[in-house]
Amino acid sequence: MTRIYPHTIVAKFGGTSVADFDAMSRSATIVLADKDVRLVVLSASAGVTNLLVELSGGQESSVRQDKIDTLRTLQYNIISHLKQPEAIGQEIDRLLDNISHLAAMSADSRSDALCDELVSHGELMSSLLFVEVLREHEVETQWFDARKVIRTNDTFGCAVPIVSEIAERVEKHLRPRIAQSLVVTQGFIGSDAAGQTTTLGRGGSDYTASLLAEALQAARVDIWTDVAGIYTTDPRIVAQAKRIDTLSFSEASEMATFGAKVLHPATLLPAMRKNIPVFVGSSAQPRAGGTLVCRDTHEPPRYRALAIRRQQTLLKLSSVDGQPAHRFLAQMFGILSRHDVAMDLVTTSEASIALILNSTGSTSGEADTLTTSLLTELSSHCHVEIETGLALVSLIGNALSQAPAMCKEVFARLESHAVRMICHGASSHNLCFLLPAESADSAVKALHRHLLE
């Protein structure tokens, strides 16, 4: 008889939560403590994705072998604690051999498609190992390949999910399995129409969990990480940062977009579409509580949090032929669109555009954003200035555009800082400003002390 689980919970565990055997055992205990958890989504073990990205960059044989040996050690440190390690050891060896083969191919000719194929092995290995940990608790558990249901386009490194196809595939391939047993799958990875492996960008396992929860119409998504919730700012910068018990979707989405690393920026979009609450807690301290992200919160404060996003690039484009502003803007945005440039903050004047390049989500990193072909085409139409070594600080809040004293309260604390760019007005939930990287932490400390403590 098929059992029905009307209150299905999708639980996602990050890299530190599956870093080694002890971490996996703690995570298994969390899963087994709630019978409504029917689907588990895993990241790669901590450090594994970085090693795989490095291998995808093409390296000489001796360096490649050192990194593969490190990967093998990380996996076997977990396997050695299992009661029956032989069968899973053979499967992990097969994946490690495949990694070695793909890394050698990358050394000859690197491609984004090959990079995605290679880095996907981190989640494949961690999910296989976690299934064995759960089975040692005598729990019926199935391993499931997420690529069967997470259908995306072919933008390798930061693929875009096709929601309608995901919904159809989940109904056909995944929901029946969840009715039979606990299911463990991978975050971060998917496949395109040709069956090639794709990835959703760094940190994309959160996004996977939310997409699957949307398709399943789940009751909640639990994100288990290394911190007990979402804080008013990074506690490593401000020791007085406080956990926020309840956040709205809008507030949390702004925080994730502008640098708070607890959630992937796209995570909340599927949850918002189906009004699925998202809980964020620590797998090391599951009883310490956490943050619940939901549609509405009671009496949200004017100032909620501060986020910081480092390694930002400011691109300034200035007209040289005096053409009308609307034509210049259309021409520049057309060029940027053709080159798939990711940007999220823009300011304009009569004859120039300043914009922040945002490539922090792609598996391939920042290096591929300002390509030679892009700069060549831009330079043929305008004067190009590039400024690096910057950080974006964002004040997250509610109805900020209706706060008459906000500018005085914020910028009085920044009088000793060289603000390079300011963005406000497109959203009532944020005020963003660009600063030299070396002064960003002091700005966050001053603003947190005045506005949030």
Binding-site residue positions for ATP? 12-15, 225-226, 231, 236, 261-262
Angle of helix 372-379 relative to helix 325-338, nearest 10 degrees? 160
For the beta sheet containing 220-225, the strands, ordered from the edge strand earlier in sequence to the opposite edge, are 141-143, 182-186, 37-42, 9-13, 220-225, 278-282, 290-294, 246-248
DSSP for 95-147, please give it: HHHHHHHHHHHHHHS--HHHHHHHHTHHHHHHHHHHHHHHHTTT--EEE--GG
* Nearest in space to 222 (alpha carbons), one of 48, 21, 36, 396: 36
Element housing 264 (H / E) = none
Annotated binding-site ranges: 12-15, 49, 123, 225-226, 231, 236, 261-262
Residue 188 to residue 116: CA distance in whole angstroms:
10
**Using an 8 Å Cβ cutoff, are 430 and 260 in contact?**
no
Q: Please state the φ and ψ torsions of residue 189, each to the nearest 5 degrees.
A: -115, 155
Helix (H, G, I), strand (E, B) or coil at 247: strand
**Using an 8 Å Cβ cutoff, are 241 and 308 in contact?**
no
Residue 53, judged by CB atoms within 10 A of its CB (0-12, 13-18, 19+), counts as middle
Annotated binding-site ranges for substrate: 49, 123
Residue 392, judged by CB atoms within 10 A of its CB (0-12, 13-18, 19+), counts as buried
CB neighbours of 76 closer than 8 A, spacing ≥ 6? 89, 92
Amino acid, res. 245: D
Q: Residue 89 has which token pair? A: 């050891």
Roughly how many angstroms between the first and final C-alpha of the chain, as a whole number? Answer: 55
**Using an 8 Å Cβ cutoff, are 366 and 334 in contact?**
no
Distance of CA 311 to the CA centre of its chain: 16
